[in-house]
Structures are given as C-alpha cells and as structure tokens.
Amino acid sequence: MNKKTIAMAASLAIGGSLLFGAVLTNASQLSGYETYKNAVKDTKNLQNETIDLKASLTDNGESLLNVTSNLKLNESSNAMSKVTAITSGNTTQTESSYEQDGKRITKNSNSDQYFERDDSHFNSSTMKESQNPVVEQSMEVVVDTLAGSMQSNVNTTANPDGTKTVAINLGENDVTPLVNALTSLAFTTENHRGSYHNESNNANDTKNLKNVIPQLQSNIKVVSVTSTGSINKDDIITNQTATIVVSGTDAQGTQHELTFNLNLNLSNINNTTPDKIDLTGKQVTTMSFHKE
C-alpha cells in the first residue's frame, strides 16, 4: 500500500459516484425527476456538513479494496478534516488531512511525519471562482443526452413523512454507448496516469498499483448501475448508495468484472465543526505551494 494506491482507490470511489451522480444531477428530461435534480443541486451547494463514505471494489467476486472516509467541512471558515482508511488484503493504511488556520496538514499512517503547507491563498471560494462555465455547460449537454435514453429506469417516490426516495436500475441494455465510451476513456486515462504523476520516489508505486487493481485495456463497458437515494424534508440528499459493475479485458486477455459498492451519508448539516490537529511535539515538514 502506498500514496498512489490510496489516490487510485479514492478516484475510483469518486469516479463511480460521478458515473451515476452526474446522470442524476442533470436529468431534467426525466418525468417526476425535477425534484431530485433540484435536491442534488441544493446538496451540492452545502457549505457545512459531515460526509461518511464507504466503498468497496471486487474483481470477479474477489475483494480488492475497502475504503472508509470521514469528511467534516466548514467552507465559511475554510476548515476541513478528513480521515480515509484503505484496506487491501491484510493491510490497512490511513491518510489524514486537515485545513486549519490557513494551513493544509497531511499525514500517512506509515510515517510519524506531518506535512504542512500554506493554503491561505487557495480556499473553496477560489476554487469555485476558477471553474470554467463553458466546460460546465458542455458537460450538462453531455449528461442530458445520456439521461434522455435512461428516463424509464429512474423513479422518485414521495413518502408520507415528507421525505423522498429515488431508485435507479440500469441493465447492460439500458446503458448508452456514450456512457461506455466515457467509462472506457476514464479507465484508460487512469491506467496511464502513473507514468506521469509519480507522487513518491518509491520505484514500486506503479507495480503495487497494478498488483491491486486490474488494468483494463479493452472491451470496457458498464454492465449495470443500481442506486437509491434519500431526500429529507429540506430537499437535501442524506444518503446515496450504488452498485456499479464494469467489465473489461486486461493486456493479457483476462476478463474482469469489477463491482463498485458505494454508500454515502450526510449528517450534521450546518452544524459541523471539523477536527483540528495539534502539532506540538510532532515531526513537521513545511512545504511550499507552487501554483501551476
């Protein structure tokens, strides 16, 4: 296990979430689905919440990775704490990060060293202002195109207590060629990333990654997507689960069926205080920030 493995696992979990989340967010063409679309937007705009993520990845039924992550966010004070644990086989590694007092602090469980850098000039507002509206609008067009052929597979139910439930069920025949094309592109891009973005001087990083996650090269497609979501009375999504199955062939011609299981919970909305780390007496390395 290493930082690159953690990054890959996190990107798979997040990428899997985006795969079904993007369709949900912009599916304005879906009958009875406008409420859920608005709930996604309201949830996306939250600035103070606790997010708990559980994710797992299996290959042909064999467990490869298990991920648990706890994120506490307060954008108004530019504060954040996150603890992510990755389990592969009998090995568990934890990555912790904090944003506090204009600093970003990170630590990996395989070291006693804390890394600190000045992030006072780069906060959540800066990121939002730097988003490209043209790219965002283009993505909405793409996702609306995807949603158009999937509308019969998405259902929203109003519950007696004022909450709502959303259910999505896509089989292999329901997934559009464009979804499969984007999925194939995402996997192919991720498989080549290690050659250009080494985060460690460890020469075994890429090798370890390939030992953990199959490197799909061809015939990559989405087999199925099933998802449920819960919306509270304030139109905020408090829970989202999904199972995403992707198949493909590696360079040796071996067929793989990867199953991603995701469970995302939101709590303490507008009442979250991120954890802080006291660096007194700890080994700290100060790093400089270079804006590219």
Contact 102, 117 (CB under 8 A): no
Supply the Cα-derived Rg of the chain in whole angstroms: 20
Indicate the pLDDT class of residue 25, thresholds 50, 70 and 90: very low
Q: Across the strands, what pairs with 284?
A: 114
Q: Choose among 8, 10, 68, 61: nearest CA to 212.
A: 8
**Beta-carbon contacts of residue 25 (< 8 Å; ≥ 6 apart):** 37, 40, 41, 44, 143
Tens of pLDDT, residue by residue over 46-94, are 889 999 999 999 999 999 999 999 999 998 889 999 999 999 888 899 9
pLDDT recorded at residue 120: 65
Tens of pLDDT, residue by residue over 172-193, are 887 777 677 777 777 776 665 5
Backbone angles phi, psi at 71, to 5 degrees: -120, 125
Helix (H/G/I), strand (E/B), else coil: 137: helix
Please give the mean pLDDT across all residues of the chain.
Answer: 75
Q: In angstroms, rounded to a whole number, what is the distance separating the alpha carbons of residues 57 and 13?
A: 9
Question: 147-161, 168-182, 218-232: which has the minimum mean pLDDT?
Answer: 147-161
168 or 98, greater pLDDT: 98
pLDDT recorded at residue 259: 94
pLDDT recorded at residue 7: 45
Paired tokens of 61: 């039924």
38 or 163, greater pLDDT: 163
22 or 84, greater pLDDT: 84
208 or 41, greater pLDDT: 41
Tens of pLDDT, residue by residue over 225-234, are 888 889 899 8
141 or 39, greater pLDDT: 39
pLDDT recorded at residue 114: 95
Region of 208 please: left (phi>0), alpha (psi -120 to 50) or beta: alpha
Paired tokens of 233: 């009375």
Question: 58-67, 106-115, 206-215: which has the minimum mean pLDDT?
Answer: 206-215
Question: 34-43, 65-74, 237-246: which has the minimum mean pLDDT?
Answer: 34-43
